[in-house]
């Protein structure tokens, strides 16, 4: 189960249990790891370096880290191997799939199109995708953005329907498959339910409204203007020919195995982006420096969603909204193709931590690794 889904299941479970008269629950047991000692000897950078190094054993795939405050890079370093067979070291210049962190680019594109009056957050999605069943008339773009649409995540049956049309399905195949899929699990707005298909529907809406591919839109509106020259969205042949894209690994029976492709690689919106530490740092500075969105739109993006009951979800548009020891943070993580990622930002100190891994095994989930590192630098 992807790490971003695991963490958000905890959030959704808490919201559900708050509505029950007695305790109920069960479900996925998340891996816990003892917290790093944020008061250990050494500078924050030295402690963060030791913490990341402790996660990567000899001869293992690893990850890369960047810590930024007020636009200044405080730490940038890579750990482990890009290719365990040929023992190629990972570097800070390698490109990683950033998984569900890529949802942020989808949300930004939607908000840009709203500013151009090509979309409205409270439009129903069937206005743009009329081939969807009638339930599309009850779900809004806003609800897709904050995961309150009632749509579930990908199921085996939904993926089977998509791949029955082609071995490499696209958003068109998703929309077609949803025509005969089961209706949403709940009424729109009743529950927080993390949904990758929901964001992929946003990808389809972006393509329908603009007349361009998602990859072209995100390049022309975000990556290009920000100088993110080593960032791209799938589908892109660069993924197969760029030697700076490491192998990505899962762990099977105690051994790391490469996992370099997936049938859903060309479905866009929920996370289809490869990037580097430096490019993600450029994005971080641009987003919180006001270069991508008007202040009112950024505020919308970072505000927690609200259920029909009035309860807050703790999730905005592609950002989790939380606090740690009284400090507000916004964050997201991701997992795809054997890549793992984590991104956290503390607005009051303009501090950001970005972690990109080419492995999905033996990475602490609670507390999230970006938070563990951020605590070392917070003052």
pLDDT at 10: 43
Rounded CA-CA distance 116/150 in Å is 28
* pLDDT tens by residue, 127-170: 999 999 999 999 999 999 999 999 999 999 999 999 999 999 99
Tally: H helices and E strands in the chain = 13, 13
Q: Which residues lie across from 321 on neighbouring strands?
A: 330
Instruction: Specify the DSSP element, H or E, that contains 8.
Output: helix 3-17
Does residue 94 contact residue 66 with C-beta atoms inside 8 Å? no
Residues 6+ apart with CB under 8 A from 237: none
- What sign does the CA torsion over 152, 284, 351, 358 have? positive
pLDDT at 13: 42
Q: Terminal CA-to-CA distance of the chain, rounded, Å?
A: 34
* pLDDT tens by residue, 93-114: 999 999 999 999 999 999 999 9
201 SS3 class: helix
Location of structure tokens 């739109």:
297
Among 35-39, 115-119, 205-209, 312-316, the minimum mean pLDDT is found in 35-39
pLDDT at 237: 80
Q: Is pLDDT above 90 for 27?
A: no
Q: Is pLDDT above 50 for 297?
A: yes
* pLDDT tens by residue, 318-371: 999 999 999 999 999 999 999 999 999 999 999 999 999 999 999 988 899 999
pLDDT at 37: 52
Rounded CA-CA distance 271/218 in Å is 12
pLDDT at 236: 85
Does residue 119 contact residue 202 with C-beta atoms inside 8 Å? no
Q: Which residues lie across from 249 on neighbouring strands?
A: 258, 359
341-347, long-range: CB within 8 Å, 24+ apart, which pairs?
341/96, 341/97, 341/98, 341/99, 341/101, 342/3, 342/368, 342/369, 342/370, 343/101, 343/280, 343/284, 343/370, 344/368, 344/370, 344/371, 344/374, 345/284, 345/288, 346/374, 346/378, 347/288
Cis peptide bond N-terminal to 371, omega within 30: no
Instruction: Specify the DSSP element, H or E, that contains 164.
Output: helix 156-165
| DSSP 8-state symbol, 61 | B
Rounded CA-CA distance 154/172 in Å is 15
pLDDT at 40: 63
Rounded CA-CA distance 95/232 in Å is 10
* pLDDT tens by residue, 40-64: 678 999 999 999 999 999 999 999 9
Domains and their CATH numbers in the chain: 3-25+43-377 (3.40.710.10)
pLDDT at 39: 53
Rounded CA-CA distance 246/260 in Å is 9
* pLDDT tens by residue, 168-222: 999 999 999 999 887 899 999 999 999 999 999 999 999 999 999 999 999 999 9
* pLDDT tens by residue, 216-260: 999 999 999 999 999 999 988 877 777 899 999 999 989 999 998
């Amino acid at each position: 189960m992807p790490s971003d889904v695991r963490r958000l299941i905890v959030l959704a479970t808490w919201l559900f249990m708050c509505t029950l008269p007695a305790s109920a629950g069960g479900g996925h047991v998340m891996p816990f790891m003892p917290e790093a000692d944020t008061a250990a000897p050494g500078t924050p950078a030295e402690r963060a370096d030791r913490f990341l190094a402790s996660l990567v054993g000899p001869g293992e795939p690893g990850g890369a880290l960047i810590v930024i405050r007020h636009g200044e890079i405080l730490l940038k370093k890579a750990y482990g191997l890009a290719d365990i067979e040929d023992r190629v070291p990972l570097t800070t210049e390698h490109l990683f799939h950033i998984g569900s962190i890529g949802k942020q680019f989808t949300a930004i594109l939607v908000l840009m199109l709203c500013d151009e009056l090509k979309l409205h957050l409270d439009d129903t999605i069937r206005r743009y995708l009329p081939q969807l069943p009638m339930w599309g008339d009850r779900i809004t773009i806003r609800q897709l953005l904050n995961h309150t649409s009632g749509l579930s995540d990908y199921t085996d049956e939904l993926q089977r329907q998509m791949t029955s049309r082609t071995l490499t399905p696209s958003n068109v195949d998703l929309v077609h498959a949803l025509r005969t899929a089961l209706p949403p699990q709940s009424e729109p707005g009743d529950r927080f339910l993390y949904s990758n298909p929901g964001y992929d529907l946003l990808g389809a809406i972006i393509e329908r409204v603009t007349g361009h591919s998602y990859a072209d839109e995100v390049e022309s509106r975000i990556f290009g203007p920000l100088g993110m020259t080593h960032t791209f969205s799938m589908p892109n042949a660069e993924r197969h020919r760029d030697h700076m894209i490491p192998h990505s690994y899962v762990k099977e029976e105690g051994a790391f195995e490469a996992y370099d492709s997936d049938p859903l690689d060309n479905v866009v919106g929920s996370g289809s982006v490869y990037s580097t530490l430096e490019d993600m740092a450029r994005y971080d500075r641009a987003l919180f420096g006001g270069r991508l969105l008007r202040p009112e739109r950024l505020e919308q993006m970072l505000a927690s969603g609200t259920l029909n009951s009035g309860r807050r979800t703790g999730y905005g548009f592609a950002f989790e909204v939380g606090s740690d020891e009284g400090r507000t943070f916004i964050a997201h993580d991701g997992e795809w193709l054997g890549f793992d990622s984590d991104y956290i930002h503390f607005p009051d100190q303009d501090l950001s931590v970005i972690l990109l891994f080419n492995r999905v095994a033996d990475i602490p989930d609670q507390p999230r690794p970006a938070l563990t590192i951020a605590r070392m630098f917070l003052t």
